[in-house]
Chains A and B, each alone.
Chain A
Amino acid sequence: MFRLEIKRLLKTRSTIVLAALALAASVFFAVNFVLDDGKSVESRAYLPYTNGLEAIAYLKGIFEDMGGYVTPERIEEMSRFCDEALSTYQSFDAMPEDVFDRYVANMEVLSRVSYGDSDYYQRRNESIEYTASQVPNEAVAEAAAELNSHVDEPFYWEYGFGSSDVGQTWNICLFVLCLIATVIAAPVFSQAYATGEDGILRCSKYGRGRLARTKILAVYSFCTALFLICAAVFSGILLLAFGPDRSSAQLKISQHVLINLNMNEALALFILSGLLTMLASISLTMWLSSMQANTVMVLVISAAALALPMFADHYLDYPVADWVRLLLPGGGTGLQNGMYYELSNLRFLAIGSFAIWTPFVMLAVPVVETPVFALLTRQTYIKHEA
């Protein structure tokens, strides 16, 4: 039955078109990002490159020897070099090419550590303590301090995809993928209701619970495979262009990241979080689909639920906004939502004396919601009467 349901999905023209669209979107976002990032790098380097890949290659060259742990001594050393270069040559135009390249490379690292503050690690801890203390709940400060106490120092830096703003682009790509998966999932039950096919299906031997389960599993499998292919394409293009990145997320995403995480792991985390968000979103869509025959209505409500977290911050106050944003199935995606932003901003959800870092919530909520919505879908389908 599962094989036949997958075959049915693959035979649906709209599914194939949407899958192709998802793949094209992943390629487009990754390639566009690589080319665009190359251009922005080029302007930083004052070099006449017009090709993004060439600009990236240039940066790979100047950062080649920069990989390593960013210790306070090294911060001091890089800072001293930059000050001396600037005081010696007075302007960038006067700097010899090798000095300019080294200056650019050093400044890139220093920009991640408060521009040469040798007490960076102390300042970072203070910043975390201060930010967490702004929340009128002591549990937040305690939880932040507890998490931060397990973060290993010093941080590691090297040139790789993390030197770009990949998180933001991935977020947009993820939103498009979720939207496409939602469109694929929307007709899974409602179409059979609308065509009258449902009447025949549900009075066959396995036409109730087992069919519902098979349909749900088929959609999950198809969308997961599609998502992983798209994520692999996106990451593959990125890794090919920029190279992998073992840098600490604290230096590439935000100093407020409260766990030990390098950028390669962060990319995997973005993908995992995206996958979980997509599964929760399509679970909600399938539940809506099991309720009514109007596929357009299912799509509209699903898309609204997917987009709603984006508006929560604008229209609701803290902490309600965070609760709403994170508890909705689409909380892990949006133009200003997602794991990248959650890691960047030091946020906690607190109930009484219990506080939890929002990236953990972002991972946990879809893990709970997906089976709940799947179960509701199954039950609604079984009880449905036209």
Chain B
Amino acid sequence: MKVEIQNLTKRFGQKTAVDDVSLTLTSGVWGLIGANGAGKTTLMRMLAGILTPTSGRVLCDGADTRALGEAWRDMLGYLPQHFGFYPEFTVADYLEYMAALKGLERDFAHKKIEELCDILSLTRVYKNKIKKLSGGTQRRVGIAQAMLNDPEVLILDEPTSGLDPGERVRFRNLLSEFARDRIVLISTHIVSDIEYIAAENAIMKDGRLIDVGTTEQLLRAVEGKVFTALVPDGLLAQTEREVRVVSLKNEGGGRTLVRYVADAPLLRGSEMAEPRLEDLYLWLFKDERRQEDV
């Protein structure tokens, strides 16, 4: 299966949220990386058919998804960034309702709901009202609804936000297994989630797609640009102003291990480190970081 995004553009008045994006998605987990406002959610919404593109189109095995209509939506699972639900619903009501909307046979739906509740640890809260559940559990209900119809294309916008580390690991494993012959597109701020499971990544910035590739391919951009150095605690504030810090780890004895990205080692005693997606993210979105700091 192949989903082709062809020259997709979306404008809201004067603002261009997605600017001429082209991408071909094949089976496997795809990570969509970008800072806030990069256009990830808008792109996903257009892919899900919720937003009409200003121009461009999405093809599924050569057929325009807008023309496919119901057939396209039958292949689709979608979890938006903000998971909305009818406040009166219990988990059972909600999943049953969504199963009917997805056109599932009643018996199959019950089996599937049971299976997903088991995998996503929702069995205990099955009869509880969704509004009374924690944010993480609500998120899991959202994931369950997206996967009810065994979608061939699964679009998940920030699926791991609110999940605890154990839940995230279970979710990542579930997705890895699920994505064998399907397309899964995930956008998340938790870059490590993508690093573990995404076979390919697409990076967006200011509405444009700036790079696409496997994690290894993308990391080449920051190869030789990630360093660690031990810095006395007293110099930390100054260090943070001078370099793009990825992480800080207190090593005791009044010293902190600073991980940073730069074209060349800037701190005394710097050692080159193995690059990770998080380093790449900071390298690519340095401007956003500075703007946020301001």
Contacts and interface: CB of A to CB of B under 8 A. Distances in A.
A149 B250 CA distance: 102
Given A205-B70, A386-B50, A199 B84 contact: yes
B74 interface: yes
Contacts of A206: 70, 100-103
Given A8-B97, A11-B89, A207 B73 contact: yes
A203 B82 contact: no
A11 B102 contact: no
B50 A197 contact: no
Query: Of residues A11, A199, A201, which shows the largest number of chain B Cβ atoms within 10 Å of its Cβ?
Result: A199
A342 interface: no
B78 A200 contact: yes
B5 to A, nearest CB: 16
7 contacts: A7-B93, A11-B89, A195-B87, A199-B80, A200-B83, A203-B78, A205-B101
Query: Of residues B49, B85, B100, B101, which shows the largest number of chain A Cβ atoms within 10 Å of its Cβ?
Result: B101
Query: Of residues B52, B73, B84, B102, which shows the largest number of chain A Cβ atoms within 10 Å of its Cβ?
Result: B84
Contacts of B45: 199
B51 interface: yes
B101 A198 contact: no
Nearest to B101: A204
Interface of A: 1, 4, 7-8, 11-13, 191-192, 195-208, 211, 385-386
Interface in B79-132: 79-80, 82-89, 93, 96-98, 100-103
Nearest to B83: A196
B40 to A, nearest CB: 15
Given A4-B100, A8-B93, A211-B101, A203 B49 contact: yes
A254 to B, nearest CB: 47
Given A8-B88, A204-B149, 19 more contacts: A4-B96, A4-B97, A4-B100, A8-B89, A11-B89, A12-B86, A191-B86, A196-B83, A197-B84, A200-B79, A200-B98, A202-B49, A203-B49, A204-B101, A205-B74, A205-B149, A208-B70, A208-B73, A386-B50
B102 A197 contact: no
B73 A205 contact: yes
Nearest to A201: B101
Contact of B84 (A7, A12, A195, A205): A195
Contacts of B86: 8, 12, 191-192, 195, 197
Given A4-B96, A204-B98, A206-B103, A197 B74 contact: no
B17 interface: no
B82 A196 contact: yes
A385 B50 contact: yes
Contacts of A1: 100-101
Interface residues of B, number: 34
A191 B87 CA distance: 10
Contacts of A195: 84-87
B145 interface: yes
B50 A203 contact: yes
A199 B100 contact: no
A203 B89 CA distance: 19
A197 B50 CA distance: 12
Given A196-B83, A200-B145, A13 B88 contact: yes
Contacts of B49: 202-203
A205 B102 contact: yes
Interface string B24-66: 0000000000000000000001001111100000000000000
A7 B74 CA distance: 24
B71 to A, nearest CB: 8
Contacts of B258: none
A4 B101 CA distance: 10
A272 B149 CA distance: 44
Contacts of B82: 196
Nearest to A11: B88
A385 B52 contact: yes
A93 B101 CA distance: 75
A198 B86 CA distance: 10
A195 B142 CA distance: 13
Contact of A385 (B51, B69, B89, B145): B51
B3 interface: no
Contacts of A203: 48-50, 73, 76, 78
A58 B86 CA distance: 55
Contacts of A197: 84-86
A164 to B, nearest CB: 41
